Structure 1
Amino acid sequence: MNRKAGNGVPMRAAWLAMVAVLLVACAAPRLRPDAQRLGIQEQRERALLAERDWSLKGRMAISGPADSGSGSLDWSQQGDAFRFALSAPVSGKTWTLSGDERHAELSGLHAQPVLGSSAAEVLGRELGWKVPVAELAYWVRGMRAPGRADVVFAADGLPAEIRQSGWTIEFRDYERANEPVMPRRIFARNGDYRVRLVIQQWGVP
């Protein structure tokens, strides 16, 4: 007499079916947690890239081997065009960096505006600051800039670090009232160069 499974299928056939299911399950690809988080990050970046006009207000400190500076920051971005104003805390003197992907103009530092091919080039030449402004426009929003980058995720799935172009960008706090969630405290370093940002308000120009 054949022993039957509870549903009428011979016991041996039931075991074979179970083994087949297990083999299929083992063969199916499984996403690692970081791969899942990276997929969520890519969705977040696509949503942020669609918002080409944005602004922030906060405080910024920059330091390097040659010089350092700090002050209140007012940064507005309209597509590729940017305006980046830093006001000193004691004197109240403000210098403004504006431009786009093809040129940059620094005003308020000298009697006449200073021109250059990029924001990073002007800051490096006039102030001795190594600040990759084009990449920072991505990093400040918790995104990777174009090119190779590594992301370290926090337990909540948000980026804790982005490592790119020799820089390590740490995201130490987020403003969780926004959607998508936006960084609030950022610390970037590359050798002896440091950039610290405390963002008090996100908005549109």
Structure 2
Amino acid sequence: MRGCVGGVLLMVLLGGCQTLPHTTSPRAAPDVVDARAAQQQRTQALGLASGDCLQPGWAMAGRMAISNGKDAGAARFEWTQGEGRLQLKLTAPITAQTWVLQSDTQGAQLQGMPQGSQHGADAATLLRTATGWDIPIQALGCWMRAVAASEFGLGAAQIHFDGQLLPRQIEQGGWKIEYSRWQLDPSSGLQMPSRIDAQRGKSRVKLAIDRWGLE
């Protein structure tokens, strides 16, 4: 059943499959002490000092490309979260078919599947079971803001910085998250990633972010 459901989602997403542009940040060696201090200030400014990736409220939108070494697809996405709740909306190009993944302390729900709404204990497991895609949903709440997630369940993170003292790569839980382009977020006054490439084994998630904002 999972293969059938995942296949339906894949065929729709493939209608707009595309390669997201990739650029590299300057690689001048930063001062490690200064970089770590800057990252600590960044983490506090984003409200992520506790490592809770579902806090505080914020939103983003853009394009997502996913692959697992065998299949690949792309979609527009809208991510919103706040007060322990998360919603990820995926919209396929061409057909405009929509899937909505919601998660809170009570569990997760995936809407838009052929057989109706699907439910699970957590968002990442539900998405993997229903579609076959391995996307670290909760940790992305931190990684998309270029901050390490809580060590609980993922282990310690290694952060590599670029010449502007911004994270160039985060390694955590077997994932490597690379940041190749940045943009100023007017709502926070901080530089935020606009190109993100997360990979673990054959699983890969690429994000091109068009809009940041506070909820």
State if a TM-score over 0.5 links the two structures.
yes
User: Which structure has more RCO (C-alpha within 8 Å, separation ≥ 6)?
Assistant: 2
1:176 partner SS? strand
Q: Quick check: 1:166 aligned with 2:166?
A: no
Q: How far, CA to CA, are the matches of 2:178 and 2:119 in structure 1? A: 31
Matched, 1:36 2:34: yes
- Counterpart residue identity of residue 203, structure 2: Y
Written as runs of structure 1 = structure 2, the 5 A alignment for 1:83-98 is 83-98=87-102
Report how far residue 87 of structure 1 moved. Answer: 0.4
How far has the Cα of 1:175 moved from its partner?
A: 0.5
Aligned 8 A contact 1:66 1:128 in 2 = no
Deviates more, 1:85-94 or 1:32-41: 32-41
After superposition, the C-alpha distances for 1:40-89 in whole angstroms (9 at most, x for unaligned) are 10111111126711000100111104543211001101121011000011
Q: CA deviation at 1:199?
A: 0.5
Instruction: Give structure 1 regions of 4+ aligned residues with deviation exceeding 3 angstroms.
Output: none
The residue identity in structure 2 corresponding to 1:157 is: L
Greater Rg over alpha carbons, structure: 1
Tell me: CA distance 1:164–1:78, structure 2 relative to 1, closer, same or farther (3 Å): same
Q: Which residue of 2 aligns with 1:154?
A: 162
Q: Percent identity?
A: 34
User: Which position in structure 1 is the counterpart of 2:110?
Assistant: 106
CA distance in 2, matches of 1:88, 1:36: 42
Report the count of equivalent residues: 174
Alignment check: 8 A CA contact 1:67 1:128 kept: no
Structure 1: unaligned runs, 5 residues or longer:
1-31
Instruction: Please state how far the C-alpha of 1:102 moved relative to its aligned partner.
Output: 4.1
Distance in 1, matches of 2:120 and 2:61, equals: 25
Number of the residue aligned with 1:196:
206
Which structure: greater helix fraction?
Answer: 1
**Any idea what the Cα deviations from partners look like across 1:13-62, whole Å, max 9, x if unmatched?**
xxxxxxxxxxxxxxxxxxx9212211110111111126711000100111
Gaps of 5+ in 2: 1-29, 49-54
| Distance change (3 Å), C-alpha of 1:155 and 1:131 | same
Determine the C-alpha separation between the residues in 2 that align with 1:105 and 1:68.
Answer: 23
| Superposition map of 1:60-139 within 5 A | 60-65=64-69, 67-139=71-143
Instruction: Give me the TM-score of the superposition, normalised by structure 2.
Output: 0.77
Q: Secondary structure, in 3 states, of the residue corresponding to 1:110?
A: coil
The one-letter code sitting in structure 2 at the alignment partner of 1:180 is L
Change (3 A) 1:66 1:118: farther
Give RMSD over aligned pairs.
1.6
Q: TM-score, length-normalised on structure 1?
A: 0.80
Whole-angstrom distance in 2 between the partners of 1:110 and 1:97: 14
Higher mean C-alpha displacement, 127-136 vs 41-50 = 41-50
**Shift, 1:111, TM fit:** 3.5
Q: 1:177 to 1:78 in 2, by over 3 A?
A: closer
Task: Map Cα deviations across residues 136-160 of structure 1 (whole Å, 9 max, x no partner).
Answer: 1100011110111000000010000
